[in-house]
Structure 1
Amino acid sequence: MRTRWNSAMQLLCAALLLAGCTEADWGTDQHGRPVAAAQLDGRWLVINYWAEWCGPCRKEVPELNRLASELAAQPVRVLGVNFDGLQGEELRKATAALGIAYTNLASDPAARLGLTSSQVLPVTWLVDPQGRVREQLAGEQTAAGLQGKLAALRAQP
């Protein structure tokens, strides 16, 4: 009896640990690859909401690609989120059509991070390594402008 109980408890603990790991992960990217919490936690996040039909979003993509490339060696990650909730092959095709090179999350992180819905696109959120929203930027952004904002926020205590 005790052996069965021990085995059941071990299975329950393993299931709880695995469930906890899954909850901590961020879902998948535009290619269907998992985005593990270890890839994003403890880093500054630049989260950009975009849509295919949004002209300023399209103009902003090269700037975000540049930012992601320039900050690749730093603890900063640029992430995209499709405003229309595209998933799977639709999301992959849309990011490819727009030339988006940075990671796009298939699952909206709004609830996880406490982001409020925006009536304007594009909208970019700056989130610190502790997961606190530090700034919401409405409208088209530039790589230089975002680097300046991040530098200013990082310099604050």
Structure 2
Amino acid sequence: MKLLRRLGAVALLIVITACTRSDFHTLSGQSGQFASGDIVLINYWATWCGPCREEIPALNRIDSEYGPNRVLGVNFDGLQGEALKAAIAEMGIEFDSLPVDPAEALGQQRPQVLPTTLVIAADGSVQQVLTGPQTFEDFQRAFHQR
């Protein structure tokens, strides 16, 4: 079972690495690819979550400074289509949001606390789970811990 979860996580990263930004729900319209071997942050957020709003600027900055698709969002409420785009605009999110929750594929339970950020290592494993609002420096440390 653990092997199946690991394979699922690797498959998810392969899908992520094969996608361009246009394949994700984004407002930026930019294109680029996720660089293999990089750490990825998967952040769970919701419009009703005050601490999520607090950390969005730090995540936007990480995405801007560390390169495209290094930060991926997951709307906790499962919004899709126009509702998701509206929520992204309301939150000021500049990084992409995945259309599906990857928790199961990563062998993780759905977060019980928001915001939650999964730090995904190059091999597809969950390296760390950050709970509660994080700062730019917290996210930077996650990128440099190997």
Q: In the alignment, does 2:60 pair up with 1:70?
A: no
1:92–1:40: structure 2 CA closer, same or farther, 3 Å change rule?
farther
Work out the CA distance in 2 between the residues paired with 1:91 and 1:79: 14
Shift of 1:146: 1.1
Work out the CA distance in 2 between the residues paired with 1:40 and 1:125: 18
1:4-153 pair list within 5 angstroms: 24-26=14-16, 28-31=23-26, 39=34, 41-72=36-67, 77-151=70-144, 153=145
Shift of 1:43: 2.4
Which 4+ runs in 1 deviate beyond 2 A? 24-28, 38-43
Work out the CA distance in 2 between the residues paired with 1:29 and 1:44: 18
Letter paired with 2:126:
V
Specify the alignment match of 2:5 in structure 1. Answer: none
Deviation digits for residues 98-136 of structure 1, max 9, x if unmatched?
110011111111122112222110001101010010100
Q: CA RMSD in A?
A: 2.6
Contact 2:26 2:96 in 1 (8 A): no
Asked which structure has the greater RCO (Cα within 8 Å, sep 6+), the reply is 2
Work out the CA distance in 2 between the residues paired with 1:98 and 1:129: 28
Question: Matched residue pairs, number?
Answer: 126
- Higher fraction of helix: 1
Shift of 1:90: 0.6
Work out the CA distance in 1 between the residues paired with 2:106 and 2:139: 19
Q: Give TM-score, length-normalised by structure 1.
A: 0.71
Q: Which has the higher Rg, Structure 1 or Structure 2? A: 1
Unaligned runs of 5+ in 2: 1-10, 28-32
